[in-house]
């Protein structure tokens, strides 16, 4: 075998070794060096009760830890970028402290896997030339940015779910407040009653209740609810409730007005989508249905005309 034929395999082997070395380096750069030294220093009989009661790490926890370690390469440079990333993850429902590092680690791991997978496939097929290297880099970029696309889809789906669930939750809040419960007790009642039917919004309300019980001001918690979920209607609801509380107006009336406005908006959105249906149906009609109808109607006449021309 000539040297030119061995070049693609040598390039792929070099890239694989470099990628493996990078992953091993990232995995070994853990911040738990002191804990590991402390564990080695202790004997098994001198371990504390907390270590004996600590639950064993699951495969999912190990996977998250590995992704978090790999994500240290893409750590945000300042607090603004970090808060922006945490806000996007919170809007998708991921509020863990390790969520940003795990998300960045997944991007790195998927990028490396797609890069090495595409390079290996092209090397084994004998097409690892300049164009093949370009395809390999494109595959790595797709794997790197795929988590961003998935995160955007999760955020959009969760925002739509909260928007659909909000009027029903507000109706039950109105009933509870008019029955004599306070706003905090009404939210706890709503969370207990509608946890199965409205899980996303009830989860956010449960966080609000917990923060209020911890002593945080209600106005601050409500403003945070709107910014955390990134839903405009929740922001409007938070402003309405804070103003009603400051001015001493009826909270039940404010909730009822907000619920009616949300239902009106949902109905307007449905009417808008129904009006756009006729325009959207033009493309499938022209591309898929019209050619079949054309063949059925014009086909027999075309066959007869062709037969008469051929018979002459």
Whether 118 and 10 map to the same domain: the answer is yes
In a domain, 74, yes or no: yes
More confident residue, 73 or 241: 241
Residue 47: the pLDDT is 42
Q: 128 falls in which pLDDT band (50, 70, 90)?
A: low
Residue with tokens 């496939």: 121
User: Cα–Cα distance between 120 and 9 in angstroms, integer?
Assistant: 8
Whether 254 and 162 map to the same domain: the answer is yes
Residue 34: the pLDDT is 45
User: Cα–Cα distance between 93 and 105 in angstroms, integer?
Assistant: 18
| 234 contacts 167 by C-beta, under 8 angstroms | no
Residue with tokens 């082997």: 13
Q: 54 falls in which pLDDT band (50, 70, 90)?
A: very low
Percent of the chain topping pLDDT 70? 75
Residue 50: the pLDDT is 41
Instruction: Count CA atoms within 13 Å of residue 234 on its CB side.
Output: 27
- Summarised one tens digit per residue, pLDDT across range 259-309 is 888 888 888 888 888 888 888 888 888 888 888 888 888 888 888 888 777
- Summarised one tens digit per residue, pLDDT across range 213-222 is 888 888 888 8
Whether 10 and 102 map to the same domain: the answer is yes
Give the lowest-confidence range in 18-22, 53-57, 62-66, 261-265.
53-57
Percent of the chain topping pLDDT 90? 2
Print the domain residue range for 59.
Answer: 3-128
Q: Say yes or no to pLDDT of 56 above 50.
A: no
In a domain, 299, yes or no: no
Residue 226: the pLDDT is 82
Residue 105: the pLDDT is 81
User: Cα–Cα distance between 72 and 101 in angstroms, integer?
Assistant: 7
Residue 78 in 3-state DSSP? coil
Q: Report angle CA 49, 53, 56 to the nearest 5 degrees.
A: 135
Instruction: Count CA atoms within 13 Å of residue 71 on its CB side.
Output: 21
Residue 32: the pLDDT is 47
Residue 289: the pLDDT is 83
Number of domains the chain contains: 2
| 263 contacts 255 by C-beta, under 8 angstroms | no
Whether 17 and 111 map to the same domain: the answer is yes
Reported residue count of the chain is 312
Dihedral of CA 108/113/116/118: which sign?
negative
Mean pLDDT of the chain: 77
In a domain, 271, yes or no: yes
In a domain, 138, yes or no: no
Whether 165 and 59 map to the same domain: the answer is no
Q: Provide the CATH number for the domain around residue 164.
A: 1.20.81
Give the lowest-confidence range in 16-25, 150-159, 297-306.
16-25
Whether 171 and 62 map to the same domain: the answer is no
């Amino acid at each position: 075998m000539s040297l030119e034929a061995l070049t693609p395999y040598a390039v792929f082997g070099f890239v694989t070794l470099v990628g493996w070395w990078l992953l091993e380096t990232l995995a070994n750069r853990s911040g738990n060096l002191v804990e590991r030294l402390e564990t080695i220093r202790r004997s098994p009989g001198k371990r504390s009760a907390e270590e004996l009661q600590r639950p064993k790490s699951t495969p999912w926890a190990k996977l998250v830890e590995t992704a978090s370690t790999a994500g240290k390469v893409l750590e945000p440079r300042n607090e603004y970028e970090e808060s922006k990333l945490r806000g996007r993850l919170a809007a998708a429902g991921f509020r863990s402290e390790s969520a940003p590092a795990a998300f960045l680690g997944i991007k790195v791991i998927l990028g490396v896997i797609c890069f090495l997978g595409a390079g290996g496939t092209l090397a084994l097929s004998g097409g690892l030339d300049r164009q093949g290297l370009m395809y390999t880099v494109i595959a790595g970029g797709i794997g790197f940015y795929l988590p961003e696309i998935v995160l955007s889809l999760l955020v959009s789906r969760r925002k739509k779910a909260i928007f659909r669930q909000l009027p029903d939750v507000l109706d039950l809040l109105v009933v509870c407040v008019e029955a004599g419960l306070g706003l905090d007790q009404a939210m706890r009642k709503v969370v207990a009653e509608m946890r199965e039917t409205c899980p996303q919004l009830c989860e956010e309300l449960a966080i609000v209740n917990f923060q209020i019980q911890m002593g945080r001001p209600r106005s601050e918690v409500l403003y945070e609810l709107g910014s955390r979920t990134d839903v405009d209607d929740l922001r409007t609801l938070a402003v309405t409730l804070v103003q009603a509380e400051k001015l001493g107006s009826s909270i039940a009336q404010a909730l009822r007005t907000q619920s009616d406005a949300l239902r009106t908006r949902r109905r307007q959105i449905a009417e808008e989508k129904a009006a756009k249906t006729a325009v959207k149906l033009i493309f499938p009609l022209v591309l898929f249905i019209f050619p079949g109808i054309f063949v059925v109607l014009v086909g027999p006449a075309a066959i007869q005309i062709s037969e008469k021309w051929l018979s002459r």
